[in-house]
């Protein structure tokens, strides 16, 4: 029976979870056995007939999880059980050459790389899709003034499109990061018990190079019995980094959906219930899901760092936890990408509320621009600053419109005409370089994502 919510189907897509299925893992490891045998035969290390038989049987689909587990119940070793299951269906003359020169972790670590490779093939296009959606939203709302907030307070006018441009660019950068780390994390290792390639001798590196090419991986330069765990730490870190960007976006959506802000709203389908007790609630549960999973994903990083310092040429202190971490990290990230994509595709943006929120402070959001206007008139910065602060605080206390207060203050109106003051309080006049920034971001995103279109 399913124990974890991933097993129960609550999180993760079927296509991602299939990569980490027990039978699929066996298929990866058998493919490595086939590639090794073929590579060894190409340079005369083992008979061609043996390599052909090994490859044929490894790819036959006859070796099942059930049989491997039956053997494991006797010998208590999963990899040895797989090798024994392969031996059972190969010719007797072939059996001496099965798994020749290899150790268990040649299969384990190289199959990890195959799983990581295929997980990335699922994740990258989804990152690209999300980046494009965000970039298009940025372009759509580039001319819309909105409240920019710092410390949770109204600070100045922002283009609403910038709220999408920022994560759009980071998604594009995540694609760059993944492409950069592939050569370090997609490692093929076939160098035997302590990383010397002892049984294959001087030809060990050539075998490994050929196997790596066949599996679309990169040959290891140096290993112990295992691939250095720095590689897995880097991989999981990058999965969590992408997750944190998604969480940043989710937190922004959650905040903008607050009742008192109300600028956006997650899609809410017919028949959906926001609360079992309060019928009127529409909670940002999808964004909260992304936030929650991001915390779990980020927690995996610390364990991968603990796995780096193993004893001598290796011990097993990393093995059990990696059976959780390496599948869990991409499964969680894949779920988060799917969820955020669904949110953004149907995100409701309340343009009326965005405009109304600009008026919430009764004009005080334009204080930065009043300060700028006075400075340009030759008023010393801190003199102008204190005058504006004095007027603003008094206007807040008395619930007076800031524009009215500015016009009626002798110290400020001495330097600014009524028209100049009125022009300051037009939000569209204060979008700065937003349009060009968004245009630049859109161009970068399109370029980064073109291979996935």
Q: Which residues are catalytic?
A: 151, 275
Contacts 24+ apart (CB under 8 A), 161-166: 161/137, 161/434, 161/438, 162/138, 162/434, 162/437, 162/438, 163/138, 163/252, 163/256, 164/134, 164/135, 164/137, 164/138, 165/134, 165/135, 165/138, 165/437, 165/438, 165/441, 165/442
Taken as a whole, the chain contains a residue count of: 453
Closest CA to 60 of 81, 33, 80, 20: 33
- C-beta of residue 161 within 8 angstroms of C-beta of residue 151: no
What tokens were used for 42? 């190409």
Cα-based distances in Å from 358 to 165, 283, 291: 20, 24, 28
- Close Cβ partners of 291 (under 8 Å, ≥ 6 residues apart): 247, 250, 251, 254
The CA distance from 378 to 390, in Å, is: 19
Euclidean distance between the first and the last CA atom of the chain, given in angstroms as a whole number: 40
Cα-based distances in Å from 366 to 182, 213, 371, 372: 48, 61, 9, 10
The CA distance from 238 to 182, in Å, is: 11
């Amino acid at each position: 029976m399913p124990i974890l919510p991933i097993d129960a189907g609550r999180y993760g897509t079927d296509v991602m979870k299939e990569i980490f299925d027990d039978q699929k893992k066996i298929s990866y490891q058998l493919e490595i056995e086939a590639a090794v045998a073929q590579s060894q035969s190409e340079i005369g290390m083992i008979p061609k007939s043996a390599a052909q038989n090994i490859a044929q049987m490894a790819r036959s689909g006859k070796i099942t999880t059930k049989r491997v587990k039956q053997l494991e119940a006797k010998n208590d070793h999963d990899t040895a059980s797989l090798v024994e299951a392969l031996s059972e269906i190969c010719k007797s003359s072939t059996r001496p050459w099965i798994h020749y020169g290899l150790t268990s972790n040649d299969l384990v670590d190289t199959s990890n790389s195959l799983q990581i490779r295929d997980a990335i093939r699922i994740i990258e296009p989804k990152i690209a899709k999300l980046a494009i959606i965000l970039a298009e939203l940025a372009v759509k709302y580039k001319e819309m003034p909105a409240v920019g907030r710092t410390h949770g307070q109204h600070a100045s006018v922002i283009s609403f499109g910038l709220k999408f441009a920022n994560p759009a660019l980071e998604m594009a950068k995540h694609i760059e990061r993944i492409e950069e780390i592939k050569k370090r994390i997609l490692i093929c290792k076939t160098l035997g018990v302590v990383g010397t390639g002892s049984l294959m001798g001087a030809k060990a590196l050539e075998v490994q190079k050929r196997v790596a090419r066949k599996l679309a991986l990169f040959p290891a330069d140096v290993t112990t019995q295992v691939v250095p765990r720095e590689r897995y730490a880097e991989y999981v870190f990058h999965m969590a980094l992408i997750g944190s960007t998604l969480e940043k976006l989710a937190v922004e959506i959650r905040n903008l959906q607050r009742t008192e802000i109300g600028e956006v709203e997650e899609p809410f389908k017919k028949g959906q219930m926001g609360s079992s007790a309060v019928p009127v609630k529409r909670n940002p549960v999808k964004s909260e899901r992304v936030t929650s999973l991001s915390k779990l994903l980020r927690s995996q990083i610390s364990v991968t760092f603990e796995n780096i310092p193993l004893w001598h040429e290796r011990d097993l202190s990393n093995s059990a936890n990696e059976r959780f971490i390496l599948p869990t990290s991409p499964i969680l990230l894949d779920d988060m990408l799917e969820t955020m994509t669904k949110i953004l595709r149907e995100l409701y943006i309340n343009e009326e509320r965005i405009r109304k929120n600009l008026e919430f402070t009764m004009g005080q959001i334009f204080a930065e621009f009043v300060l700028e206007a006075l400075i340009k008139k030759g008023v010393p910065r801190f003199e102008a600053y204190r005058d504006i602060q004095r007027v603003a605080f008094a206007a807040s206390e008395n619930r007076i419109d800031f524009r009215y207060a500015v016009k009626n203050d002798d110290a400020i109106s001495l330097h600014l005409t009524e028209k100049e003051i009125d022009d300051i309080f037009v939000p569209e006049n204060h979008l700065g370089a937003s349009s060009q920034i968004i245009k630049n971001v859109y161009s970068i995103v399109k370029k980064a994502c073109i291979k996935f279109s």
